[in-house]
Structure 1
Amino acid sequence: MSLFTTYYPLFMLCILSVLYVMYRIQPIASTVKKIIIVLCVITNAAYICWRLFFTLPHEGTFNIVMGILLVACECIGFLQLLVFYTLVWKPSNRKQVMISDLERLPTVDIFIATYNEPIEVLKRTVAGCLNLSYPKESVQIYLCDDGKREAVEQLASEFGVHYLTRTDNQFAKAGNLNHAMSQTNGELILTLDADMVPLPAFLEKTVPYFHDGATAFVQVPQAFYNEDPFQYNMFSKDRIPNEQDFFMQTLQAGKDRFNAVMYVGSNTVFRRTALDEIGGFATGVITEDMATGMLLQGKFKSVSVGEVLAVGLAPESWLDLLKQRDRWSRGNIQCARKFNPLKVRGLTLMQRVLYLDGIVYWFNGLFKMIYILTPILFLLFGIQSFWADFQSIFMFWLPAFFSSYLAFKLVSNQKRSMFWSHIYESSMAFHLAGVALSELFLKKRVEFLVTPKGIQTDKRHFHLKTMIPHLIFLLLSLLVLVKIGYEVKVKGTMNADLMLINIFWVLYNGAGLFMALIVAFDRPRYRKSERFVIEKEGHLRSDHQDQSIACFLLDMSDSGARLSIPLDQASSLNQGQMQLFFLEDESVACDVVWSHSEGDQLMVGVAFTDTQKSEYLSLIRFLFTREHVAITDREKKSYAVRTFLRFLRETEKVPKALQRKWLRRPLQGVTGTFSYESQLEEKVPMIIHDISLSGCKIESEASIELHEKVLITIDTESLTDQPAVAVWTSRKRGRTMVGLKFVQPKIKQIEEREGVVS
């Protein structure tokens, strides 16, 4: 043993030096990557052996219990490390198949599963499906509505797609899809969530893989065109990728090598006959995807296509993200109970290992809790989960940690760092730990809940209830540091061997907990539709003008756009409805809703109005391309300190593009009238509180619904039958307060009134 302890540190130092030099000289070479992975496994295996045979406590009940729990977590972590590096050992070498390789094109049924999603969200997805570059006669689109909504049926009729519903909602989404299967007969089935907009090439890039009769399904990554709560609440859109991207693109590619690609519930093309052979989509669990994919892989092959071919909406609030992961966690544990990977027929050993690893992942919250609790228990109460001196810890832990850091940094290709993984895990650990234990032991029945999409709010909200455990452990961590400081200064005592490593551990955990607090501060989401950065030339044309106005498109959504025009052409904007040409021969009707000058340019905001079906399809086809759906896929200067400082600097600011373009002018005692569009002859009295070029705030005994259009008349402001739309409403003491935004404002008249132009 003495010989080992003498030479092992030198051996480890040599390994670390080689690792570092190899990484710095040739960081992306395949051979170098594999050597680093091997060395990472060796150092971690040495660490685990040392922990198991030399560090477990033998005295004290609490010491023994915590020692066993901690080393068990570390052993599970080591097994997960082996699985992870098996997946990323080498890239998938799947050969791309072209659609021209097919003798004939199979028919495709597209199932858009919906329950309560906003119509605006569904409309984009339907339009995306209609824009697919696949023979129209070979595609049938079905809106599968478990919400039984008249508006969804009207949407289907408007766009010429099929509408399906059923008498009950048994088995939630899986039951909905199975019902759709019973009503259709296409050879292939594409399943889409209500918010997932397919890009035009989706079927062209996926259908060819069914040339092999053994292929059951083809999975495309879920990608998102909005910011998830980590990106949005931390002001890190351009700094970090979406939290799901690493799994969807890196790990799924590794699973593809072992025919273990996970069906993720959307963006998936199935062979109907393969689904028929397993009895359709799996039921009896709140997430049907994992079980369905696993059952198919026991008999058929699966394919992962790494290219982003559809984009949707990530959860838009911290609470919605937790609810989504709650459902995924419970669903995976339910699948393990009903469809045990060890018992499913036809699976290979590696498939069983990968599915078990996926199930164990949902207990990581529990493991993280133990890692957070361990150093606090030692420093506060002296509960010692392992026996070791500082030299031994340095000798075994540091090589394992440093090699893990290098290996992960290399294989993740800047898509994920160890510290951001730490933040993700810390932020959800306590919630997911409770969910996993509840589902494992209580088996509480939980309904399938759809993740809300299309949220719009101007309020900031801190989800205190979800952060109570984080605050408690942060306070305990602070108490630990105060206690140590007191003992060193007053008593002059400190066990340096164990104190230093536990202090580092507490600080590391505390950093993750502190960053978790930031993500729980939900920022306002002012827009209902996400804007895409466009930055291209276009032009405006009025029905009353022969000559068009050259403009530059800055950003755009399916409901409006922001653009700039030369200031000397500003007077042309008071001609009512206009056409915005975003391509040479593609345009959409719009109204100017605000404008303000910046230098020699007039910045203009337009809202799309009375959009026809053909215009909307062109708009979606223009917006939803790889060029405009820019997705951050690498971490860029995403340091924790910079993220925190950016949060402090930006948190109270309204985005520049959303700030009011004119100051509100308060009005005292000014009255006016409004009329509903359906009752123009009836004039309803109102009190005006303030006004600007873009809108006003009113009070009335009558009610106005959100997004309802009215005509307002204010004699003292020279406004007669000015169209306006309600952008917010509130009811107090029997009276209604309404924020109105002017539609087709008479710009020159209002500017003169406000003193904007001389």
Structure 2
Amino acid sequence: MTSILLHSPTSFSGNHQSRLKRNTLLFRYFAEINLVLGVWYLHWRIFHSLNFQALWLAVPLLIAEVYSYFSGLLFVIGLWRPIERQTQSLDALMPSLPLADYPTIDVFVTCYNEPLEIIEQTTRAALKLRYPIDKLRVYVLDDGNSVAVQDLVHRINRELKQSRSMQNWKQRLLKKLTDDKMQLHQLESLADDLPPIEELLAQAPVGPQAQPASTLIYVIEQLLKASSQSEQTLSAQLQRQKQQLIESIAQTEQALQNMQRCRYIARPKPRDRAHHAKAGNINYALFCGDTDGEFIITLDADHVLKAQFLQRVLPYFFTFNLEFGKYISNRVAFVQTPQDFHNLPADDPFGHGAHLFYGPIQQGKDGLNAAFYTGTNAILRREALMSVGIKKFSRKLRRNHEYLEEFELIGALATNSITEDMNTAMHLHANGWQSVYHHELLAEGLAPDDLGATLKQRLRWAQGTIQVLLRDNPLTLKGLTLWQRLQYFQTMYSYFSGFATLVYLIAPLVYFFAGTSAVEVAGASFALHFLPVFLCNRVTFLIAAWGIPLREIWRAEQYAIALFPVFIQAVLSVITGQSLSFQVTPKQRQSGVYVKLVIPQLVIFCLTLGGILWSGYRFTQGQLANPWVYGINSLWGFYNVCVLWSILRAAIWQPPTPPPKPSTKVASRSLTRV
């Protein structure tokens, strides 16, 4: 893990630094060779190898290969400029950011019927962020409106009130309130007695080194200094100071009344309107939940933040302005950090390892100002969310006045897809906002640990992504750059791979059992054209994923192929207009065997394995007319068997049984002997 994610900044000059990822030039070199070889291979396939006697198989295979080539082309574009960012921590910026200028932060913990202990762990970790306590609030956004969650928040608040930090904060507020009221009283006592002030000051030993004879004289002196500097009358300056004190007193009293650092929000959910799941939950908190933080951290209920999260990501939102001599806000809308999981088994049977995406892929998108927001472990600027949300709301309202019913959901999180995160980022980019991917592990969560939950999660991702393509096509959305369009389109395009994968899996089966080949050439000729492309493709991919364990790369490739029924189901369900709902991924393992969920993969696995064995038997009997072709199809089938085995194994996988604990009686006897 330490070789994949940065854990601490290295020494460098300045507050921020970005550079090309290692091996980028080597990757570009092999990528160009790979693309040229791909064109050469496709030219040979189209003009010299099509089996016109079996076009029903040859054409689908050729279409699948063309699809794969363009998929590879988009992949290369996405990795053409991967950047590694580094930043100084918030408390190490040079020059330093004054504590008074630290922005207010709201942490949104989104939950919906998750186990209480998971929500509690996430909430308590958010409250321990290394940040001024008067500028940080944590909101539990309970879409399940659970009494138990509400009681949890109240219990946490009771504990917080007794903590030393909260008591110290309260004492500071009370002292400030007392001082402000005293000073206001003194100013009011001066209102009717301004003429003798100068005479009083002339008799008082005031000066740079002298101590004021009394607090009253000190206040008068400060008023005179302020009035002379601002060229205002003493009376006007007095009124201004009084107004400032009144406002300060009101703010302090409000702070004393609102000392709850952990708050509970459960939105109303009328039956006669759409609720938009997680997006609606966050949008309600933004617009109607009495939240006002300048920045928003969004967390799934099972993702636990590290204490230094804000110290490491907030600096990206500020730029030091030499003209004004202070930090000013820039156009960064959000900073996304990686997702990682602390409950993955050693061999990751469900393919949750995401170091390829939260690594080269996100770094490549970041280099094109197209880093994706992925819903959790991210911080967003409220100004960006609300400005984009208001624009979207006004456009929809002009088209349909009934949209006014959703006025409380005006926040910018997209509501026209069940994958609100990617669509939200796309609209932020389209409105000129920038994004940052910070490659440092700053939170850990829970991954689904059974196949049923895993497939449900992957299906939701695929369906939501294709929904965005049909409803909000990035190729036509105004405001996006060419490279941003291609980055969003590449993600959507990838989910159509299920159809190409099905062709790749069926083609060798047709040859094993029907003797029909989609390629009308000798096996040696096919190998001569295919192997250079395949090997160069493997080398290029390994260079792009440099530093990621080979086991994880292989598992990612296995699941990219083995999930073909899920991808096909997602495409068909969206295109046919089926009603789709946001389904929360279960956070606890559901016991059982899930073979019934992988019937298509199991059937193809068994047929392919049988075809290989049958071909081997016929070879030993001398019954193969063209052993080269059977050999190539057997190798092809063996590869298919290897990638499908991953999901079949996951269907029957069970967590290791913990060793039995020794009984108390046996343990006590052992201690007695010792």
User: 2 CA distance for matches of 1:78 and 1:482?
Assistant: 31
Task: Describe how 1:228-267 pairs up with structure 2 within 5 A.
Answer: 231-233=347-349, 242-267=352-377
User: 2 CA distance for matches of 1:136 and 1:413?
Assistant: 41
| Paired position in structure 2 for 1:381 | 514
| Paired position in structure 2 for 1:335 | 468
User: 2 CA distance for matches of 1:426 and 1:351?
Assistant: 26
User: 1 CA distance for matches of 2:454 and 2:30?
Assistant: 35
Offset from partner CA, 1:61-81 (integer Å, 9 cap, x none)? xx2132222222222211222
Query: Which residue, out of 254, 262, 266, partners 1:165?
Result: 266
Q: Which structure carries more helix by proportion? A: 2
| Paired position in structure 1 for 2:650 | 519
Query: Which residue, out of 433, 453, 459, partners 2:568?
Result: 433
1:72 is aligned with what amino acid?
I
| Residues 1:452 and 2:557 aligned together | no
Does the C-alpha gap of structure 1 residues 188 and 473 become closer, same or farther in structure 2, counting only changes over 3 Å?
same
| Paired position in structure 2 for 1:45 | 39
Does the C-alpha gap of structure 1 residues 501 and 419 become closer, same or farther in structure 2, counting only changes over 3 Å?
farther
- Shift in Å, 1:194: 0.4
CA contact (8 A) 2:85 2:439 kept: no
- Shift in Å, 1:414: 4.2
User: 1 CA distance for matches of 2:524 and 2:659?
Assistant: 58
Offset from partner CA, 1:711-745 (integer Å, 9 cap, x none)? xxxxxxxxxxxxxxxxxxxxxxxxxxxxxxxxxxx
2:505 is aligned with what amino acid?
I
| Paired position in structure 2 for 1:509 | 640
| Residues 1:351 and 2:484 aligned together | yes
Query: Which residue, out of 83, 92, 98, partners 1:92?
Result: 83
| Residues 1:424 and 2:559 aligned together | yes
Query: Which residue, out of 128, 132, 135, partners 1:135?
Result: 132
CA contact (8 A) 1:380 1:480 kept: yes
CA contact (8 A) 1:260 1:351 kept: yes
| Paired position in structure 1 for 2:342 | 225
2:580 is aligned with what amino acid?
V
CA contact (8 A) 1:488 1:494 kept: no
TM-score normalised by L of structure 2: 0.70
| Paired position in structure 2 for 1:597 | none
- Shift in Å, 1:55: 2.0
- Shift in Å, 1:491: 6.1
| Residues 1:205 and 2:312 aligned together | yes
Q: Secondary structure at the match of 1:424?
A: helix
Query: Which residue, out of 416, 422, 435, partners 1:290?
Result: 422
CA contact (8 A) 1:363 1:436 kept: yes
| Paired position in structure 2 for 1:475 | 606
Offset from partner CA, 1:382-426 (integer Å, 9 cap, x none)? 332222222321221111111111122222114264643332224
Task: Describe how 1:1-150 pairs up with structure 2 within 5 A.
Answer: 31-59=25-53, 63-94=54-85, 96=87, 98-99=89-90, 100=93, 102=97, 104-150=101-147
User: 1 CA distance for matches of 2:668 and 2:267?
Assistant: 55
| Paired position in structure 2 for 1:321 | 454
CA contact (8 A) 2:555 2:646 kept: no
CA contact (8 A) 2:75 2:490 kept: no
- Shift in Å, 1:482: 4.1
CA contact (8 A) 1:113 1:143 kept: yes
User: 1 CA distance for matches of 2:422 and 2:263?
Assistant: 28
User: 2 CA distance for matches of 1:258 and 1:390?
Assistant: 42
How many residues in Structure 1 have an aligned counterpart in Structure 2?
503
- Shift in Å, 1:477: 1.4
Q: Secondary structure at the match of 2:122?
A: helix
| Residues 1:659 and 2:659 aligned together | yes
Offset from partner CA, 1:555-603 (integer Å, 9 cap, x none)? xxxxxxxxxxxxxxxxxxxxxxxxxxxxxxxxxxxxxxxxxxxxxxxxx
User: 2 CA distance for matches of 1:30 and 1:271?
Assistant: 31
Does the C-alpha gap of structure 1 residues 435 and 175 become closer, same or farther in structure 2, counting only changes over 3 Å?
same
User: 1 CA distance for matches of 2:26 and 2:52?
Assistant: 42
User: 2 CA distance for matches of 1:73 and 1:271?
Assistant: 42
RMSD over aligned CA atoms reads 2.5
User: 2 CA distance for matches of 1:261 and 1:148?
Assistant: 33
Offset from partner CA, 1:75-123 (integer Å, 9 cap, x none)? 2211222222233334305452542354621111111111111111011
Q: Secondary structure at the match of 1:223?
A: coil
2:585 is aligned with what amino acid?
T
User: 2 CA distance for matches of 1:122 and 1:162?
Assistant: 13
- Shift in Å, 1:428: 1.9
User: 1 CA distance for matches of 2:634 and 2:418?
Assistant: 42
Task: Describe how 1:480-495 pairs up with structure 2 within 5 A.
Answer: 480-490=611-621, 492-495=623-626
| Paired position in structure 1 for 2:218 | none
CA contact (8 A) 2:142 2:264 kept: yes
1:255 is aligned with what amino acid?
K
Taking only the aligned residue pairs, the percentage that are identical comes to 31
Does the C-alpha gap of structure 1 residues 507 and 296 become closer, same or farther in structure 2, counting only changes over 3 Å?
same
Does the C-alpha gap of structure 1 residues 422 and 58 become closer, same or farther in structure 2, counting only changes over 3 Å?
same
CA contact (8 A) 1:231 1:242 kept: no
CA contact (8 A) 1:188 1:272 kept: yes
User: 2 CA distance for matches of 1:317 and 1:257?
Assistant: 35
User: 2 CA distance for matches of 1:31 and 1:216?
Assistant: 30
Larger C-alpha radius of gyration, 1 or 2? 2
User: 1 CA distance for matches of 2:149 and 2:640?
Assistant: 47
Does the C-alpha gap of structure 1 residues 117 and 36 become closer, same or farther in structure 2, counting only changes over 3 Å?
same
User: 1 CA distance for matches of 2:461 and 2:25?
Assistant: 37
User: 2 CA distance for matches of 1:425 and 1:388?
Assistant: 29
Q: Which structure carries more strand by proportion? A: 1
CA contact (8 A) 2:51 2:517 kept: yes
User: 2 CA distance for matches of 1:259 and 1:291?
Assistant: 15
1:521 is aligned with what amino acid?
I
1:296 is aligned with what amino acid?
L
Query: Which residue, out of 285, 290, 297, partners 1:180?
Result: 285
| Paired position in structure 2 for 1:195 | 302
1:226 is aligned with what amino acid?
N
User: 1 CA distance for matches of 2:296 and 2:502?
Assistant: 42
Q: Secondary structure at the match of 1:302?
A: strand
2:610 is aligned with what amino acid?
L
Offset from partner CA, 1:472-493 (integer Å, 9 cap, x none)? 1122113323442454455633
User: 2 CA distance for matches of 1:29 and 1:232?
Assistant: 27
User: 2 CA distance for matches of 1:756 and 1:448?
Assistant: 58
User: 1 CA distance for matches of 2:276 and 2:615?
Assistant: 55
Which consecutive residues of structure 2, in runs of 5 or more, have no partner in the other structure?
A: 1-21, 158-261, 319-328, 390-411
Offset from partner CA, 1:612-670 (integer Å, 9 cap, x none)? xxxxxxxxxxxxxxxxxxxxxxxxxxxxxxxxxxxxxxxxx63xxx32233xxxxxxxx
Q: Secondary structure at the match of 2:110?
A: strand
Higher relative contact order, chain-length normalized (CA < 8 Å, sep 6+): 2
TM-score normalised by L of structure 1: 0.63
- Which aligned segments of 4 or more residues in structure 1 are displaced greater than 6 angstroms? none
User: 1 CA distance for matches of 2:672 and 2:349?
Assistant: 36
1:370 is aligned with what amino acid?
V
CA contact (8 A) 1:232 1:523 kept: no
User: 2 CA distance for matches of 1:479 and 1:147?
Assistant: 50
